[in-house]
Structure 1
Amino acid sequence: MTVTVRDLRPGDPPDVEDFARVRHQALPHILWTSASVLHTLARTPPEAWARSLVAEEDGEVIGTAQVMLAHDSPEPGQGMLNIYVHPERTGRGAGALLVRAAEEHLAAHGATKLFAWVLDEPANRAFAERRGYRAGRCAHFLRLDLSRAALPPLPAPPPGVELRTAADFADDPRPLFRLDAETMSDEPGDIDIEFTDYAAWLTQTWEHPLLDRELTTVVVAEGRPVAFSVAFTDGGSRYVTAMTGTARAFRRRGLAKLAKTVALHRARAAGLTDARTGNDTGNAPMLAINRSLGYEICATEVRHVRELV
């Protein structure tokens, strides 16, 4: 049996469905749909040199890779590759072929440092280390069973604070862009991001097919959004918090927890039962909020880095 690597065929619906299916099997803590896969491929700026790859064995897609340059970082030469193989199809060489193709592509477009998330399991970490990647920071995936969770009572907003949704900003989402840009720049991570392109944010974030504007909860104070909890849904029972953050001038007032608590109540009222989120292990305040809401760690990823000589 021969394994080969090729580009994803975006015009072939079964191929895109297979990509999303393998991703879900390998990493069920994140939402993957055909629409979201196509959105990422089509809306990523050309300067990222993004590619989606598949590993195929006898006509069956068994592995996937998403590859791009960190185009929105002030530091050039940083590449990202995330490789996932169907858990029942490992040991066939798919991962090694995907890594090689991804590295060659990134190096050809100027990458000198490569970053990859690796599930914190012995086989996965050994796979990365054999290829010259060293372990760095960690991040947890967390899960909450909304059908059984004892959520805190629905809180009342403090004086001068209003609770709204992202849908309320449909006519002019720019205030949400400003809040997103500020909070994203403070997220713990290996790659610094300069988030300044409003038009790109509209196409990549505001128009993302998984973004649920009705469930995305926004805290407004002094006439502007100051905290939010961003909701992704896939039309089924799953709810993923894509981001929760607070503007710097309004932190340590409990507004992030307010936004997330209200968002979870809204998600449960909408019939969603499986809530997921993720946090860098260095983000102690958000981890504390999630634990207080009943989230439990269900998996961990380790960021690995390799310097290209």
Structure 2
Amino acid sequence: MSASLRLFAPADYAALCDIQNAVYSEASVTVEEVRLADDLRDPMCKHRRWMVEMEERPVAWGEYTQRIHKYHPHKFFLNLFVLPTYQNQGIGSKLYTHMLEALQPFEPVQIRTQTQEDQSQSVRFLQQRGFREEQRKWESRLDLTTFDLGPYLEVEQRLSEQGIVLKTLEELAGDPERDRKLYALDWQIRQDVPATEPRSPISFELFCARFLYHPEIVPEAFIVAVHNGEYVGLSFMGAQPSSKLISTGLTGTLRSYRRMGIATALKLRGIRYAQQHGYTVLRTVNDALNAPMLSINMRMGFVKHEQLAILYFVKDC
């Protein structure tokens, strides 16, 4: 049997999710998530996606794309997924070669991709093709059914005594500059998050669509630290409908407000919300080099899942 490649079509979203979820069952995606991500892709980013079929059955998919938050006209990101039962049959190699050939008119200088620690075949596949690991992120999880907020009750009170209060996204709705302030704060915080490439700011409109009004963002768990009207820290959470797992996104503060317990207080407020609303597991992902945030998580009782470490690879063209 030979594998045939064709361009992705809108009718393929369900098959795409089935393939990806078979590879990464711990990080499942939905049709709605992928479709929305496609809709929110900045038009400046080059993108093309293919499906691979055997006997008219979708068994793999791949794409090249660009990331607007780390944009470079000649740098690309590849995604490639093959159903486990069809791996080691040359399908991934065929798709990878096809994507590289499709990129040549754009004169790529670097290609990046990612996989997980437990995907040993994928790691070997990349290493054999000249990719090298350049970044590692740890996934950590907190059991919300056993976490005790009791020892932390005074954390937020100490901040309040210094004039720092925590507000939800909804509680800040009366501030006409709220969204612009959050856009500026988010950008300042991200400057200090470990990264392998220079960051580029996204547009205000895209920020709002991705982080303030995205359907998976939980407004009541989007917490902002405010001091004398200035937004000085934030933490937000996202969850899929009907899921008992909730994820923490970016958590951070302005440089001048660090080592005051603000990040801890932000996380605790989010944890309280999650417990009160029936979530059982809190998931977060941190760069392996982000020692301050990893330390906060470990003190709270997060358990690092090393087998779920996300590995980022790069290859110079």
Tell me the TM-score normalized by structure 2: 0.86
Match of 1:209 in 2: 215
Instruction: Rate the CA distance shift 1:110–1:245 in 2: closer, same or farther, 3 A.
Output: farther
C-alpha contact (below 8 Å) 1:29/1:141 kept by paired residues: no
Match of 2:287 in 1: 280
SS in 2 for 1:288: helix
- How far apart are residue 52 of structure 1 and its match? 4.0
- Of 92, 107, 110, which residue of structure 1 is paired with 2:89? 92
Paired with 2:6 and 2:228, the residues of 1 have a C-alpha distance of 52
SS in 2 for 1:156: helix
- Of 230, 249, 265, which residue of structure 1 is paired with 2:256? 249
Match of 1:32 in 2: 29
The yes-or-no answer on 1:199 pairing with 2:205 is yes
The yes-or-no answer on 1:168 pairing with 2:175 is no
Instruction: Rate the CA distance shift 1:104–1:240 in 2: closer, same or farther, 3 A.
Output: farther
Give the fraction of aligned pairs with identical amino acids, expressed as a percent.
24
C-alpha contact (below 8 Å) 1:4/1:97 kept by paired residues: no
In structure 2, runs of 5+ residues without a counterpart are none
- How far apart are residue 118 of structure 1 and its match? 2.1
Please tell me whether Structure 1 or Structure 2 has the larger radius of gyration of its CA atoms.
2
Paired with 1:86 and 1:149, the residues of 2 have a C-alpha distance of 37
Pairwise mapping of residues 130-141 of structure 1 onto structure 2 (< 5 A)? Answer: 130-141=128-139
Pairwise mapping of residues 1-309 of structure 1 onto structure 2 (< 5 A)? Answer: 1-10=1-10, 12=11, 15-30=12-27, 32-73=29-70, 75-121=72-118, 122-151=120-149, 152-154=151-153, 155-157=155-157, 158=159, 159=161, 160-170=163-173, 172-195=178-201, 197-235=203-241, 236-298=243-305, 299-308=308-317
Instruction: Rate the CA distance shift 1:107–1:194 in 2: closer, same or farther, 3 A.
Output: same
Q: Over residues 174-195 of structure 1, what are the superposed CA-to-partner deviations in whole Å (9 max), with x where a residue is unaligned?
A: 2111111111222111121121
Q: CA RMSD in A?
A: 2.4
SS in 2 for 1:79: strand
Of 143-152 and 249-258, the range deviating more from structure 2? 143-152
The residue identity in structure 1 corresponding to 2:139 is: F
The residue identity in structure 2 corresponding to 1:163 is: L
- How far apart are residue 29 of structure 1 and its match? 4.7
C-alpha contact (below 8 Å) 2:68/2:200 kept by paired residues: no
Paired with 1:87 and 1:153, the residues of 2 have a C-alpha distance of 44
Paired with 1:81 and 1:30, the residues of 2 have a C-alpha distance of 18
Q: Over residues 167-222 of structure 1, what are the superposed CA-to-partner deviations in whole Å (9 max), with x where a residue is unaligned?
A: 33456412111111111222111121121521222233333232122212221122
Paired with 1:264 and 1:86, the residues of 2 have a C-alpha distance of 36
